[in-house]
């Protein structure tokens, strides 16, 4: 399991301790980080002037949290539609074309199953 990123506040306090003369190993142990993380923060601050968190890489989400209710309403309106049909309907309603795989992931994330129960 991956640990969450340290907040900017922790980064700043750790770097303040380094600036005050504490060793990287001591600061890393105190803030429960790996020494290589503290060194990376030091390099980042030297390179960019800030040790703050950087923007996440990757593509922005196509399904925004505000649109989840729209997708739920679509599925409720067309409960027997295939994933491909839901993709077409989504493109018609929002102007955003998504793949069948993406639609399947969205529905799984929203706990909507395609399994029909008799």
Judgement on whether residues 43 and 75 belong to the same structural domain of the protein? no
pLDDT one-digit tens code per residue, 37-87: 999 999 999 998 888 877 778 888 888 888 899 999 999 998 889 999 999
- Mean pLDDT (the chain, rounded): 86
Judgement on whether residues 103 and 75 belong to the same structural domain of the protein? yes
Q: Give the DSSP per-residue string, 55-97.
A: PPPSPPPSS-GGGHHHHHHHHHHSTT--HHHHHHHHHHHHS--
The domain tally of the chain equals 2
Does residue 90 form part of some domain? yes
Structural domain for 27, as ranges: 8-48
**117: confidence class by pLDDT, cuts 50, 70, 90:** low
Q: What is the mean pLDDT of residues 88-100?
A: 92
């Amino acid at each position: 399991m991956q640990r969450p990123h340290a907040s900017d506040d922790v980064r700043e306090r750790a770097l303040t301790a380094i600036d005050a003369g504490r060793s990287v190993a001591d600061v890393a142990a105190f803030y429960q980080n790996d020494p290589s993380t503290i060194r990376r923060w030091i390099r980042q601050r030297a390179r960019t002037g800030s040790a703050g968190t950087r923007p996440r890489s990757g593509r922005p989400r196509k399904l925004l949290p505000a649109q989840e209710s729209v997708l739920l309403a679509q599925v409720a309106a067309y409960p027997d539609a295939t994933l491909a049909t839901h993709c077409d309907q989504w493109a018609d309603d929002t102007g955003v074309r998504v793949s069948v795989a993406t639609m399947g992931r969205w529905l799984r994330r929203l706990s909507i199953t395609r399994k029909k129960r008799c």
